[in-house]
Amino acid sequence: MGHGWVWAHDLEHLDLIGRFVQAPLREEIPWYDHGRRMTVVARLPAWIQQARNRDEALRAIARIRASLLCT
């Protein structure tokens, strides 16, 4: 089942997304900034943020990482 695209600017961004998806508790800093501007992870699509899609998102991240490291 595919929900949408996963993309990252670079490996550092991809790692941040991966750490966010793997985190069991995402309520506090460093994930969210309560100021006017949204953080990078707050802008992620809803399907990536949902725990029920964790495995699918992590597989997509692994595929991206593998494709970047093989080139």
What digits encode the pLDDT tens for the residues 5-45? 888 888 888 998 998 888 887 665 554 555 555 577 778 88
Establish if 17 belongs to a structural domain.
yes
Tally of domains within the chain: 1
Q: Is residue 6 part of a domain?
A: no
Q: Can the peptide bond before residue 45 be classed as cis, meaning omega within 30 degrees of 0?
A: no
39: containing domain? 11-70
Residue 1 lies in a domain: no
Residue 5 inside a domain? The answer is no
Dihedral of the alpha carbons of 20, 23, 27, 31, in degrees to the nearest 10: -30
Q: Is residue 42 part of a domain?
A: yes
Side chain identity, residue 54: R
pLDDT-derived band of residue 60, with 50, 70 and 90 as boundaries?
very high
Is the entire prediction scored with pTM above 0.75?
A: no
Within a domain: residue 32?
yes
Q: Do 17 and 6 form a contact (C-beta atoms < 8 A)?
A: yes
